[in-house]
Structure 1
Amino acid sequence: MATIKDVAKLAGLSITTVSRYLNNHPYITEEKRESIQRAMKELDYVPSSVATTLRSNKGKMIGILVSRITNPYFSYLIDAVEKEVKANGYTLLIVQTYDDKGAELKMFEMLKQKLINGIIMCSIECSDMIDIYSKYGPIVVCNQRVESKEAHQITTDQEGITSEAIKYLFSKGKRKIAYCTGGTFSEKGHGTLRNKGFKSAMKELSLEIDSRVIFENIHTVEDGYMVAQNLLRNEKSVWPDAIFTGSDEVASGVINYLMRNGKKVPEDIAVMGFDNQPFSSMTAVPITTVEQPLEALGKEAARMMMSLLNKEVYKVKKDKLVLKIVERESV
């Protein structure tokens, strides 16, 4: 695919001149216009309307990275961020990564090219690239934790609340606990902090971690169906008496499948979600879950970004970022 650099080379002009032509600059001679037009036609070059629009926005755009907007967690988080940045005269560019590093790198490049002023990262695939690109503009990490000297981080205690959730299940008499993570069950990537919380609680409680009931890359209602299906395919001796699903979406899928197949929740298998989405109190068996302060997370991330852009100091309101267990009927 041809680039503006290719057009400039073929036309025998500078990239700046071609850029001015593309942005309808009035002071370009007719001869140069014709040279650019010929080069564009020969190279089949089509200027990026998106890039042109972004550049004309005069430095008033913030990028936000999420894994997928269909997850209600990200929808509510984006809503809170957008209200705050809009009140400060900025617009929000939403990019769904679908856990693809390439999509994340494209947004980093947009920051480098000054198409956006800063990035709020609610999903992270390339944590090792944050420090490299931070020199081009502020990067705020929201509800994730990364090893970075440059990123500004808005965090909640994901590790601590997961440990507390497992101990809560234990207090309810649960000893065989299945576990779902949004990433892998390793030390890096999605869900690392929750993984640590799960492992530490299981060790502290002297409970065995059974690899047969550990599920990776689990996100959706459909994933919940699959998890429950896999559980029931095992011999009954392998069945857990509780499952920490990592999200209310997954929890609702698990509950639905179990009940359709004649199992009782929580009598046969207790189910615990995460996020406290509005629907979690309205499912067939209301979901015991962990409440995340989504509005506060969004506001704090956006306010941190605005402060960085204005070169001001901002003190995060940590008292607004507290997680808590919400008890309902699924446990």
Structure 2
Amino acid sequence: MSASTFMTDAALPPAPVLSYGPVVLTVAGRPADLQIRVTLPVSGTDLPVILLSHGHGNSNNLSSLNGYAPLANLWAARGFVVIQPTHLSSKTLSHLHADAAEGPMFWRSRAEDMTHIIDRLDEIETTVPQLAGRMDRESIAVAGHSLGGFTAALLLGARVTDPENGQAADLTEPRIKQGVLLAAPGRGGDILTGVMAQQVPIFRSMDYSTMATPALVVAGEKDDSRHFTEMGPEWHADPYHLAPGSKTLLTLFGAEHGLGGISGYDAAETTDENPGRVAALGELSAAYLRSQFRPGDNAWQEAGDALATGPDAFGRIESK
């Protein structure tokens, strides 16, 4: 086990990116077409892919393919193809929520959206300008914030019990090789005593003991989700502590649930706006994934070499 404290280097020069959307995929049985946004660097080949799952916020558009630009743009600038779906839980599709069996969270559909995207990378590649032949389909990661972190965890191997039929649900996607969990929910069980725990029963069965896929877990030091649990901010570190295999925990000092404002530029719902924190998170997560996908790439090592203590530190890193 190693632990360090880090601060960011000077920002790298901005790199141009392209963003294209919506790409519309018709999925049999889905009550609405699956719409996605694709963000990619202007140049480069053999680009790893990040599937980015939005959260379940109160805004009209951030919880959709139109959100999370601070991360999507930075990741693309660092050499990734970022694909963002609008899940059925999005407020932009609220007309579907009242009568749908899975609504309003659509927990199973959210994970299935990502599998549909991987299944149809050929179609996406031919639709998006300047994308053809540039994706590395053997290097696919999933990232998600809040409810999106729950979605990512299911794809990485975490298990839940379907509240409708009482059966275990395994939505693991073996084509996804790495993950980034951003302010994801922690364990289920009796520690879920808040008012929202009754409204999101699927969280009560959350089990990380089967999530063996390597992942970076990001938790805010002040992300105290009392509406779910009295456990405190440590709840969001559960995916690191309870899951087996190679895991890294990034704890962001002073960060609340928005982790500095990752869901959108100048988003009013961000309670802890800090562009420096968002930049640090984006750079470190990109470095983590690059080094995971490219053995011998020293991006993560270089990030580790820049770790330092002091009043300007953004957080700490632990690995197991």
Q: TM-score, normalised by structure 2?
A: 0.38
Q: TM-score, normalised by structure 1?
A: 0.37
Greater fraction strand: 2
Greater fraction helix: 1
**CA radius of gyration, larger in:** 1
Structure with the larger RCO, 1 or 2 (CA within 8 Å, 6+ apart): 2
